Amino acid sequence: MIDRYMTEDMNKLWSEKGKFEAFTEIELLVCEAWNKFGKISDEDLNVIKEKACFQIERIDEIEKITNHDVIAYVENVAENIGPEGRFIHKGLTSSDVVDTALALRMVKSVKIISEELEKFIKLLKEKVIEHKNTICLGRTHGIGAEPTTFAMKLGIFYEEAKRNLKRLDEACENIRVGKLSGAVGTYSNIDPFIEKYTLNALNLKTCEISTQVIQRDRIAHVMFVLSLIGAGIEKIALEIRHLQRTEVREVQEGFRKGQKGSSAMPHKKNPILSERLCGMSRLLRANLSTSLENIALWHERDISHSSVERVTIPDCFHLTHYMLKKSINLISELVVNKDRMLQNIENMNGLIFSQKIMLSIIDKGVARDKAYVMVQRNALKSWEDNSKLIDNMKNDKEIMDLFTQKELEDKFNLNDYIKNIDYVYEKMGV
């Protein structure tokens, strides 16, 4: 991940230093387990715990010879310990350490994401409450449809974020597993006690069954949920981009003092953050596809997944964390132009009431298809010459034979469209 989009919390876990720290935590617990099992003396264990450390530069130096990063790590730790270093990695295969460390870091990363997602959910709820009575134009196919509220838009995002938090919890439990079962997963050179003791200390569960690696459907599950979180953020960002267009101007990203929108045009205020978030969501989805492809490996394992995961897993956690932080900024600083929202409704010339009037005509005993045509011919005239729908209808004898002028005017009541909207808020608990 480039520095621009890297977050400090994630970097502590996904840097090379963070990786080898996780390796060391596991290796020391394994030695402790062998001590409990009677295979490493108390004296040797004390020396191991006291002297165990690594130097990334030295690991890189050894790897140039071994062409194997885990062996290079083990040799570096062992040489720092001395003779007692022979017990490091006892009975293990590389994937025991790599996959258990990966699961450990993924669990910690998911918790970081969950905390940020909870903050975002709280903010969205606050904004839903704030905009319960902010009436705006609802659109389908990008075309003005009927009135809604800005709270309804935000409520869609709020409920989806809540679902994603639940999905994230489920995915976290699915990845909260480790394995210390040796080559091909048969415990041929390690007692199951070592695995149970170590994983218990790490607050990880044991796999019901594994090959030499933890099965990658677990990782794909997490990556899928991260992609869903990204897609949910993209949905918000895309809505803001549409609503900020010059012709709409109902919302606007916060524009800070000293900020510049364009190198060429000083007047520009562009939705740059929303656009950035939309692009990042594409990265999450692209990385998900590789995680799905990593599920199928040769026999008990190959390492075709390894090179992919070194890039995609850290990147996805960095991106998701960054996107959530920026989404909180985006919604916190969002400018909502209530007057423009009402003006855009007014600019529809009453066309938003077409369904309500059609239903009123049907209630008078007119067949639905005929009622539709009666309203449509007047609506199309409004589209064509920018006239008011109510004026066209007042000049339509067939319609005025059904209504008095006051009855017709009463149908053009904006508040009728939000009279039952509290039911939605009640269901959401806001």
The residue from 24, 58, 90 where one domain ends is: 90
Domain assignment present for residue 420? The answer is no
Give the rounded distance of the alpha carbon of 409 from its chain centre. 47
Indicate if the pLDDT at residue 261 is higher than 80.
no
Range with lowest mean pLDDT among 125-129, 189-193, 264-268, 403-407: 264-268
Element (H, E) at 54: none
CA 99, CA 90: separation in Å to the nearest integer?
16
For residues 43 and 130, state if they share a domain: no
Contact present, 233 and 190 (Cβ < 8 Å)? no
Give a yes or no: residue 61 inside a domain: yes
Last residue of a domain, one of 32, 56, 90: 90
Q: Is residue 54 part of a domain?
A: yes
Cβ atoms 101, 220 nearer than 8 A: no
394, 405 contact by CB (below 8 A): yes
387 and 276 inside one domain:
no
pLDDT digits 0-9 by tens, 229-260: 999 999 999 999 999 999 999 999 998 888 78
What are the residues whose beta carbons fall under 8 Å from the beta carbon of 71, sequence distance 6 or more?
A: 62, 63, 94
**Residue 147 β-bridge partners:** 137
Helices 217-244 and 272-293 pack at an angle, to 10 degrees, of: 160
Q: For residue 303, what is the domain's CATH number?
A: 1.20.200.10
* Residue 264 pLDDT grade (very low, low, confident, very high; cuts 50, 70, 90): confident
Q: How far is Cα 21 from Cα 43, in angstroms, rounded to an integer?
A: 23
Tell whether 59 is covered by a domain: yes
* CB-CB neighbours of 376 under 10 Å: 12
Do residues 47 and 79 share a domain? yes
- SS3 readout for 11-51: HHHHCHHHHHHHHHHHHHHHHHHHHHHCCCCHHHHHHHHHH
- CATH number of the CATH domain containing 52: 1.10.275.10
When computed from its CA atoms, the radius of gyration of the chain, rounded to whole angstroms, is 31
Evaluate whether 6 touches 318 at the Cβ level (below 8 Å): yes
205/293 same-domain check: yes
Q: Where are the alpha helices (DSSP H) in 52-191?
A: 56-66, 69-81, 94-130, 150-175
Domain boundary among 297, 315, 337: 337
Is 345 domain-assigned? no
Q: Which residue among 41, 188, 262, 332 is the active-site one?
A: 262
98 and 85 within one domain? no
CATH number of domain containing 373 = 1.10.40.30
Q: Are residues 326 and 304 in the same domain?
A: yes
What Å distances lie between residue 217 and 184, 214, 250, CA to CA? 18, 9, 43
Both 248 and 370 in a single domain? Answer: no
**DSSP symbols for 312-349:** HHHHHHHHHHHHHHHHHHHHHT-EE-HHHHHHHHHTTT
The count of domains in the chain is 3
Q: Is 262 a catalytic residue?
A: yes
pLDDT tens digits for range 316-347:
999 999 999 999 999 999 999 999 999 999 99
Grade residue 153 by pLDDT with cuts at 50, 70 and 90.
Answer: very high
Range of the domain at 58: 1-90
pLDDT at 195: 97
> Does 246 lie in the same domain as 204?
yes
Residues 320 and 366 in one domain: no
**Is 202 found in the same domain as 69?**
no
Burial classification of residue 62, based on how many CB atoms lie within 10 Å of its CB (0-12 exposed, 13-18 middle, 19 or more buried): middle
Under 8 Å between Cβ of 216 and 305: yes
Residue 426 lies in a domain: no
Same domain, 53 and 123: no
Q: Which of 141, 263, 299, 307 is catalytic?
A: 141
Judgement on whether residues 241 and 275 belong to the same structural domain of the protein: yes
Q: Is 131 assigned a catalytic role?
A: no
- In this structure, is residue 427 part of a structural domain? no
Q: Is residue 424 part of a domain?
A: no
Average pLDDT score over the chain: 96
